Amino acid sequence: MRFGPAQVSLCGLVALVLCSPGFPAEHPGLLLTPEDVEFIRQYRQESPGFSRALEETRAELDDYFGTAPDVPAPVDPGGGYSHETHKKNGIAIHDAGMVYQLTGDETYARHAGRLLLAYADMYSALGNHPRSRSSNPGRLFWQNLNESVWLTYAIQGFDAIHDSLPPAERNEIVNRLLRPMADFLSEGSADTFDRIHNHGTWAVAAVGMTGYVLDDDDYVRKALHGLDGDGDSGFMRQIDLLFSPDGYYSEGPYYQRYAMMPFLLFARSIEANDPELDIFAYRDGILLKAIHACIDLSYAGLFFPLNDAIKDKGLDTVELRYGIAMAYALTGDSALASIAGLQNSQVLNGDGFRLARARDRGETLPFIHKSRLFRDGPEGKQGALAVLRAASTGNQQALLLKATSQGMGHGHFDKLGLLFYDNGREILTDYGAARFLNVEQKNGGRYLPENETWAKQTIAHNALVVDETSHFDGQLRVAEQHHPDMLFFDDAGGIEIASASMEGAYEGVSFQRTAALLSDFPTEHPLMIDVLEASGENPHQFDLPVHFNGQIVDTSHPLEPASSLHPLGEANGYQHLWLRASAEVPAGEKFAVTWLTGNRFYTYSVIARNDMQVFFTELGANDPQFNLRREQALVLRTRGESSGWFVSVVEPHGEYNGAEEYTLNSRGALDELRFVRETGADFLSLRTADGSQAILALSHDAGEAMTHEVELAGRPYRWNGNYALFQEAAPMSGVREECSADT
């Protein structure tokens, strides 16, 4: 079965050396191979960073094994003592195995071996964990998910010390720990093992890796193709179904990161043992695409906090340390080596060494973020996430239009929601999840009640709310039956633009949104443009929340402050917003607010079809435990009409420098904002105080090949495709000529 390990040539490119089949398993043979060990030994002096990481791990192990680790009876649920202790022991077995291989010091092999024997002593007598639930019981842990994770670590450690173990001990570990556990996680937990779900991925990875190490075809076959071998389940099927063709995982980047780990561990093990499967080329290289997607779904090193997401997570997580090292070793892409510069440590295997060495040798290129469309769904037909980027490197802008499917139970009700980043910071924000991960005082570290009452609700996002209810009335099952449709996406440069529509979020109301970054306009930085249109049959209340990060500097209209604060509403998240002030804005009149975020100013300008109320709100009402962060939002409201639109622009401008005592351009350049719906197209007109003007035309009939000719204020405009940008420098209210047209 094993055809020999992958070898990575010195220049970092892949050269597969196929050996003859039929040998018994060579050890170690998963993410670290004898060739890796030899390679690391030969070139170790070229990576002080890797040596340092190795020494740190060694020191941690010396500390950990200073007294014999406890192997307690499994009694506690997640977070409890036995749970945490077993987790730590699993990692210690892995780390000790790696350190033994990389240093040759048998002390670490003995540490790992003794700990594995202690588990062998205990494991075979265990029944179901006393705190387990019926759906996915574990033995060592309360749920079998944790048991699968444990085995992926332990099997790597065992593999690493395999040849150093006396045969009797080795048999003891295999027969009383590894086989019973692999049997339990496969045949013994059939529902989980055959499920197309993250828990299933962990189970097949653990069992499959164990199969390779024990040279057991049966485990490997079940892991790859499901318990009954028909391919309706198992690893290959999971790869088919859990990622979109663009490598997007429907729960969003936070869970994508987590879900990636077993895919990566098992795929790298498959590559080492069954290279003829060419697993990293499977489905047009989907696993590498998924790693790249993680990178493109981040800003300033942190993931976009879509759906339930802890906002601290990003590229410096263990999953991405494995993933980026692996992708680098497989592709030799020096831009990945620069991403690793955001990571504070490296994985102790062959891939980790190759990446660390490249960094220490300065073999890095900048990673260029570009605008990308991530289609959602296994076939890419369930909406999409559009990520627009206005510049290629540095503290560029990023604008997200979230037109994805619901994303299962961790999904938020924020169809066609927006997020905007600039200058290294969140500007229009998403709350992420209401959760303090592992902080026991905060609901045991689990999701907080406010995750349901606030974070998932539509009002908690930069998304349209109709009649103060959330999309699909907050019903997951209904939400899963609908998804937005992408209308178009273009990253032609000058303007980056995406448009999508949504039906079914509200009965009798559909809406569509077009988001763009406009760099082809003479403002200091690109402009963010947002055109949101809703149409229904009966009069409705339309609310557009604008969650912004910054200190308010100025408003265009006088505000009516509240002398005492009351919640903005009673349910669907509104009960958590204090109303601080409000303003009244006549239909079509521009309302603007300027705020300061870090050292840059942002002016948000908006016009609406109907008379508009603007509410200034702060988060924190009905939050007796102080579970919510103190954030703020504008809520733009129109009422009493069956359709409406909000057209807004964010202009980043100027600089505040307190240390050097200067402030530049605190007012911005955008002066006039107009929006006209004509038969056939919408026209958005922007003008600066010094007369620069641009008109963005949005075709009503989508289609790249359509020709449009629409008259506006007596002048004809012609273009092909979904949109066009017309520019002129003269300070006119009309439009003289067509300067550019796209798509």
- 125 binds a copy of itself per the rule CB under 8 A: no
Q: Which stretch binds a copy of itself (CB under 8 A): 25-33, 472-480, 546-554, 690-698?
A: 546-554
- 689 touches a copy of itself (CB under 8 A): no
Residue nearer to a copy of itself on the CB measure, 228 or 312: 312
CA 449 to chain centre: 23
Q: What is the amino acid identity at position 452?
A: E
Total residues belonging to the chain:
743
- Please give the angle made by the CA atoms of 343, 345 and 348, to the nearest 5 degrees: 130
Sole binder of a copy of itself in the list 195, 667, 674, 700 (CB under 8 A)? 667
Task: Report yes or no: 370 and 491 within 8 Å, Cβ to Cβ.
Answer: yes
Query: Which amino acid is residue 670, in one-letter code?
Result: L
Strand partners, 510: 503, 535
Residue from the set 22, 24, 394, 658 that interacts with a copy of itself by CB under 8 A: 658
Is 483 annotated in the active site?
A: no
Q: Give, in order, the Cα–Cα distances in Å from 102 to each of 17, 108, 159, 189.
A: 22, 10, 13, 35
How many angstroms separate the CA atoms of 401 and 219, rounded? 43
Binding a copy of itself (rule: CB under 8 A), the pick from 100, 511, 574, 616 is 616
Using the 8-state DSSP alphabet, how is residue 742 labeled?
B
Nearer to a copy of itself among residue 618 and residue 742 (C-beta)? 618
Residues 429-448: x/- map of binding to a copy of itself (CB under 8 A)?
A: -------xxxxxxx--x---
Q: How far apart are CA 403 and CA 187, in angstroms?
A: 39
Residue 66 binds a copy of itself (CB under 8 A): no
Residue 316 DSSP code: S
Q: How many residues bind a copy of itself (CB under 8 A)?
A: 52
Q: Which of 219, 249, 255, 322 is catalytic?
A: 255
Q: Are 482 and 503 in contact (CB under 8 A)?
A: yes
- Give CA–CA dist 623/188, Å, rounded: 44
Per CB under 8 A, contacts with a copy of itself among 480-499 are none
Candidates 375-383, 450-458, 518-526, 557-565: pick the segment binding a copy of itself (CB under 8 A). Answer: 557-565
How far apart (Å, rounded) are the C-alpha atoms in residues 27 and 275? 16
Nearer to a copy of itself, 444 or 691 (CB): 444
* 133 in contact with a copy of itself (CB under 8 A): no
Active site residue 292: no
Smallest separation, CB 368 to a copy of itself (Å): 24
Q: Does 475 participate in binding a copy of itself (rule CB under 8 A)?
A: no
According to the binding rule CB under 8 A, does residue 571 interact with a copy of itself?
no
Give, as ranges, the residues between 256 and 315 that touch a copy of itself (CB under 8 A): 310-314
The nearest distance, CB 250 to a copy of itself, in angstroms, is 22
d(CA 648, CA 516): 11
What radius of gyration do the chain's Cα atoms show? 28
Nearest to 610 by CA among 641, 581, 579: 641
Residue 581 binding a copy of itself, by CB under 8 A: yes
Binding string to a copy of itself for residues 309 to 328, with x set by CB under 8 A, is what?
A: -xxxxx-xxx----------
Whichever of 458 and 627 has its CB closer to a copy of itself, that residue is 627
What's the half-sphere exposure (Cβ side, CA atoms, 13 Å) at 241?
15
Q: DSSP for 119-173, please give it.
A: HHHHHTT--S-TT--SSSB-SSSSBHHHHHHHHHHHHHHHHHHGGGS-HHHHHHH
Q: Which positions are annotated as active-site residues? A: 255, 410
Kindly list the residues in this chain that would bind a copy of itself in the complex (CB under 8 A). 310-314, 316-318, 436-442, 445, 551-554, 559, 561, 563-566, 578, 580-581, 594, 596, 616, 618, 620, 622-626, 629-630, 632, 656-663, 666-667
